[in-house]
Structure 1
């Protein structure tokens, strides 16, 4: 028989010296390390102190018999996995069945047949080796799974950190739109304020000169006063001065309105919710996007139709909701501009681009905001992907693909609301937002 890399140990428990001698000689010759005990108590102690690879256990022994010995071996965590082969008389069928029920894996009959004993022992030892290998593989697999789980956890954390960075980039992109819009809106009122202020100064100076001269010559209104009045066109001046001042007032009011919209849009309420007027948030966002809604050289203005219902104030993070409104409205404008390509100016005037903003009370506990456009719509092939992380249909450099992802996160996770859409190609898109009142 070929030598084993690790010699296997067999414990024989039998009170018959002849049986012990026969088994000891046969097993030793076959290359096994053999331990022998002549009663159940000694066998239990031996198995506990020096666990063997297999136990041959006689049924009939004085004191603790084979059945009780088997039961105690099975109850002991240190020995419960050691295969036990019962040794019993040929006719003891009841004993065989009882032994197998107690946990024995096999039995051999007396008188012993050497070849049968060795064959059964080899089979059970092979099964035990396979069982130990399987247990080792299981433990290695568990360790591998544990390591992979830890790696995946780290990867997820890294992805979340990356996502936060991308979200911050998206916020910066939104701020860029905001600044561009405000700059565009402020340029016009500041421009005509500067021009009118200069003219107003000259007009007022002329009036002062005229009044001084009038007082010097009064009460006689001579030729000089008449000439001065004609020179400065006093009648026109007096009529135009109030108009210039009114124009400046309108410009100042416009700047104030833009400033108020900016404060509303970028409200710093990220830490706690506040009861806010949703209409103010929508108005501030539309104000900031006004430069994109105005007429361009290749298209008329985009008409914004507002249908505001009577809704209560909503407990929300208004600054974050405004970001949602900004993303959806900006996408609507993009869709309308895309749909305007290839269409003439007059055609667009007959069939104008429109954005409809509606608010209503859905039920006692929820409000609904609907933002619709009559643009190109969303293609069937991408409807299932528009909320996906980093998905975008825009050219490189014109979007991160996080706009709608962030919008859904803000509505669903931050406000426990819903964000859904309905869209048909060439028939426009409607985004519907529902928000709990509180």
Structure 2
């Protein structure tokens, strides 16, 4: 029954009774009141009639051969198509036990024989009106839920937009502020190194020209351990040079990651974006007092340049990698980490960074060595070009995994599996909007408890500018 039905619509009543006289009586009574009446002599015929045309109300006799009214009602309520149809039981019995059972199996009302025409019509109309109100309430609930979902989506979109603007400005500002002094340091280290070498050469020349130094000079050389200082000073200059160079790489990665001035689509190298994101996360991948180092296994395919919104795609990569690290840290905190001895054994026996041993467990079609035998926790990044001109990026971890009951809600706005204060519930929802709505792609999660999780995103190689 639908809300757009008019007053001219004849309500369809199915009368089920094994007594023909009762059928004729009820049919005549209800037809005279403007109802469309169908008749069934037994339960099997009634079930068939409901499948052919769904009635608005069913009048169902209790005492029938082969299949009584209770059994018929149970089957009606078990069928998704007929479960919402109101069932009014009719019977000559006036036993309280029968009434209780009638309501217990799903009946909504009870009429005792002999029939009183006005009572029957009133009870039917009451059930029709109740059903109409129920449908109206369901539709209003649906509209309300839709409005709530739209509001959440709008909030997420606004947060995403504001977050991207703020992130881009922050990263670009930080990169600019760091870049100036580090460029000064990096540029001058070359001269500092040359000056130090010139001084060392001068000292060595003095040692050759004046091999017999005074006692004061000899004492000073002994106190400062001159030979060690000369060697270590050269090492320090080299270390500072490498450190400055590393900071320059990080600044460059920050600039590439934010892509502050690249709001429009452009062709990018996906692997470079992944590498830049990993540079940003090096501090979380290193070994700490709380967890061993996380090994990143890269399984890159041969990808062409991909047209995309680069800064937003980087945000998705950042979130998925951060989630993978969080999952591994959670597993370590839960006692899933391997012992130092196992890790050292694994390191000595690990064949290569890009190959994973056979006999491991997998997420999707990806393979991992069993967690108890891993040298360290792992994140595997797999990229490939699919046959539909799509690029796939899969990020898998060997953390504790995600329960099946939670996976269906992962991309809902404001839903998070993390403890209070450690997750906003927006990361995956924003990622979903970026991949599905903005890039016309898809994002999926494949996981089971104890076997890690894999998030895979697929986007077209080319995008149509909106």
TM-score by length of 2: 0.50
The superposition leaves residues 268-310 of structure 1 with CA deviations (integer Å, 9 ceiling, x where unpaired) of 2553111001011111111111111111212211111111121
Alpha-carbon distance between aligned partners in 1 of 2:417 and 2:163, rounded to the nearest angstrom? 16
151-160 or 332-341: which moved more?
Answer: 151-160
Matched, 1:262 2:286: no
Paired position in structure 2 for 1:320:
312
SS at match of 1:257: helix
8 Å contact kept, 2:265–2:309: yes
Matched, 1:167 2:160: yes
Cα deviation, residue 418, structure 1: 1.5
Cα deviation, residue 151, structure 1: 11
Matched, 1:429 2:421: no
8 Å contact kept, 1:210–1:229: no
Paired position in structure 1 for 2:328:
336
SS at match of 2:383: strand
Q: 1:175 to 1:220 in 2, by over 3 A?
A: closer
Paired position in structure 2 for 1:287:
279
Matched, 1:414 2:438: yes
Any unmatched runs of 5+ in structure 1? 1-149
Paired position in structure 1 for 2:212:
222
Instruction: Decide which of 232, 243, 246 is 2:235's aligned counterpart.
Output: 243
8 Å contact kept, 1:371–1:431: yes
The superposition leaves residues 363-391 of structure 1 with CA deviations (integer Å, 9 ceiling, x where unpaired) of 36221111111111110111111111211
Alpha-carbon distance between aligned partners in 2 of 1:274 and 1:252, rounded to the nearest angstrom? 31
Alpha-carbon distance between aligned partners in 2 of 1:374 and 1:302, rounded to the nearest angstrom? 10
8 Å contact kept, 1:206–1:232: no
Alpha-carbon distance between aligned partners in 2 of 1:255 and 1:415, rounded to the nearest angstrom? 33
Matched, 1:273 2:273: no
Alpha-carbon distance between aligned partners in 2 of 1:430 and 1:177, rounded to the nearest angstrom? 30
Alpha-carbon distance between aligned partners in 2 of 1:394 and 1:404, rounded to the nearest angstrom? 12
| Larger helix share, 1 or 2 | 1
Matched, 1:301 2:325: no
Paired position in structure 2 for 1:18:
none
Instruction: Decide which of 357, 375, 378 is 2:402's aligned counterpart.
Output: 378
8 Å contact kept, 2:413–2:426: yes
SS at match of 1:240: helix
Paired position in structure 1 for 2:393:
369
SS at match of 1:223: coil
Paired position in structure 2 for 1:144:
none
Instruction: Decide which of 415, 437, 442 is 1:391's aligned counterpart.
Output: 415
Q: 1:212 to 1:168 in 2, by over 3 A?
A: same
Cα deviation, residue 325, structure 1: 0.7
8 Å contact kept, 1:300–1:345: no
Alpha-carbon distance between aligned partners in 1 of 2:171 and 2:200, rounded to the nearest angstrom? 44
8 Å contact kept, 2:401–2:448: yes
Alpha-carbon distance between aligned partners in 2 of 1:160 and 1:368, rounded to the nearest angstrom? 25
Cα deviation, residue 359, structure 1: 1.1
Alpha-carbon distance between aligned partners in 2 of 1:271 and 1:170, rounded to the nearest angstrom? 13
Cα deviation, residue 265, structure 1: 0.9
8 Å contact kept, 1:309–1:359: yes
SS at match of 1:328: helix
Q: 1:298 to 1:271 in 2, by over 3 A?
A: closer
SS at match of 2:339: helix
TM-score by length of 1: 0.53
Quick check: which has more Rg, 1 or 2?
1
Alpha-carbon distance between aligned partners in 2 of 1:383 and 1:177, rounded to the nearest angstrom? 33
Cα deviation, residue 178, structure 1: 7.9
Paired position in structure 2 for 1:54:
none
- Aligned pairs for 1:75-90 (under 5 A) are none
Q: 1:232 to 1:206 in 2, by over 3 A?
A: farther
Q: 1:206 to 1:432 in 2, by over 3 A?
A: closer
Matched, 1:346 2:342: no
8 Å contact kept, 1:264–1:284: yes
Cα deviation, residue 429, structure 1: 1.0
